[in-house]
Amino acid sequence: MAKYNFDEQINRRNTHSFKWDIKERHMGTEDVLGMWTADMDFKSPQPLLDVLQERLDHGVLGYTIRGENFYEIIMDWMKRRFDWELTAEDIHFCPPGVIPAACMLVDLLTEPGDPVFAFMPNYDSLYGTVEAMGRRLVTAPLLCDHTPATACGDWKLDLDAFERIVVEKGIRLALFCSPHNPVGRVWSLEELTAFGEICRKHGVFVISDEVHCDIVRGNVKHTPMGKIPGMEQLSATLMSPNKTFNVAGLMTASVLIPNREVMKKFRTKLNHWAMNLDNVFGTLAVETLYSNPRCEEWLNQVNDYLTANLNYAVDYIREHIPCISTYVPEGTYLLWLDFSKISLRGEELRRFLVQECKVDLCDGWEFDPDCLDHMRLNCACTRATLEEALKRLEKHL
Ligand SMILES: Cc1ncc(COP(=O)(O)O)c(C=O)c1O
């Protein structure tokens, strides 16, 4: 078995990296560490790089169709990893990504001005689809057992609030993030079943963004929304190798929609927009990453590395930077940091972190306008980069 070296320090500066190269984020400061957007600083699995290199060496990069086994490969992945049996008709490829798929579904399933529900905080581009499509965002906060949260399990779905809002506002569509970005919960079967019961009772369709489904701690199990009793016909599950194998730049995603009527509308919409051919590298990526066992070995190893990084960061913060409160997430490689013990908020906090600490984190208010005292730290980097970032924070806090 190949042992991947995630300690390899790869300079991503000047590679058009979204995380490292947006100069405006650095406010004129040099040497800022990119710890914000959710991709990893690691090379993708070698079998994928080999397949892409082979295609590049071939040199002709014309219009591309999916391989014969494309859908079976996704079906096998879902069965193997999540014990969810799908048929080829349940799956549709969706270039260029999970969020464009969410936009299309919001557009297909509601009318302009309709209310759409989301728990907050939430991934900004996901809840942003609602207003982008001219619908009305209706929210309820996630519950938290402690303020600040001391463990990931402190975060709960407020199902009473959800049901009340569904009835009062006539909600027919909800957006759901699972595993949850930014708080890191991997919702349990019991929680998802209870959520599903309310959806069924009131006919609420759920768009479930599961892009982080493969990045979970060793003892935690992710369950796709479509597997929840009664939710098969009431949900669209969005997934992608994007986070799993660090291929966000290939822009490739799939929707899983067992409801034939919704799937038909979705396919028709993609056809109308002429989005029916794939990116040559994206197609190869899906096929290789989900079928080559050596890629799954990479995934297991990267998950171990990420868990070790997250444990390290939380221990370090608790011991050396006690003015930040945080906890190890059940899923994702993202730490949700609570800065409420210091007085800086919003733009001031951001300016301090970039200009004094030289660390570029994701602003909490993007996930919820009320989260002015939170930041999100991406730990999918080498241990050396993580250590450096934490030392910089410690020095100034
Ligand atoms: C919850 C969530 N959904 C979707 C995305 C983006 O997915 P895509 O690039 O496939 O649109 C991200 C990226 O960070 C994310 O965290």
Omega before residue 96 within 30° of 0, cis: yes
**Three-state SS at 74:** helix
Atom of ligand 1 nearest to the CA of 242: 10
Q: Is the CB of 240 under 6 A from ligand 1?
A: yes
Within 10 A of 25 (CB to CB), how many other CB atoms are there? Answer: 17
Q: Which fold has domain 70-292?
A: Aspartate Aminotransferase; domain 2 (3.40.640)
Tokens 């799908």 belong to 86
Indicate which residue's Cα is closest to atom 9 of ligand 1: 97
How do beta strands 155-156 and 362-363 pair? unpaired
- At position 238, the amino acid (one-letter code) is L
Atom of ligand 1 nearest to the CA of 97: 10
Angle formed at CA 252 by CA 247 and CA 255, multiple of 5 degrees: 130
Are the beta carbons of 175 and 139 closer than 8 angstroms? no
Q: Show pLDDT as tens, one digit a residue, over the chain (397 residues).
A: 789 999 999 999 999 999 999 999 999 999 999 999 999 999 999 999 999 999 999 999 999 988 889 999 999 999 999 999 999 999 999 888 999 999 999 999 999 999 999 999 999 999 999 999 999 999 999 999 999 999 999 999 999 999 999 999 999 999 999 999 999 999 999 999 999 999 999 999 999 999 999 999 999 999 999 999 999 999 999 999 999 999 999 999 999 999 999 999 999 999 999 888 889 999 999 999 999 999 999 999 999 999 999 999 999 999 999 999 999 999 999 999 999 999 999 999 999 999 999 999 999 999 999 999 999 999 999 999 999 999 999 999 9
Q: Is the CB of 252 under 6 A from ligand 1?
A: no
Q: Which fold has domain 23-45+295-396?
A: Aspartate Aminotransferase, domain 1 (3.90.1150)
Query: Which residues, including other chains, have CB under 8 Å from residue 188's CB and lie 6 or more apart?
Result: 223
Domain boundaries, the chain: 23-45+295-396, 70-292
Q: What is the pTM of this model?
A: 0.98
Q: Is the CB of 373 under 6 A from ligand 1?
A: no
Domains 23-45+295-396 and 70-292 share a fold: no
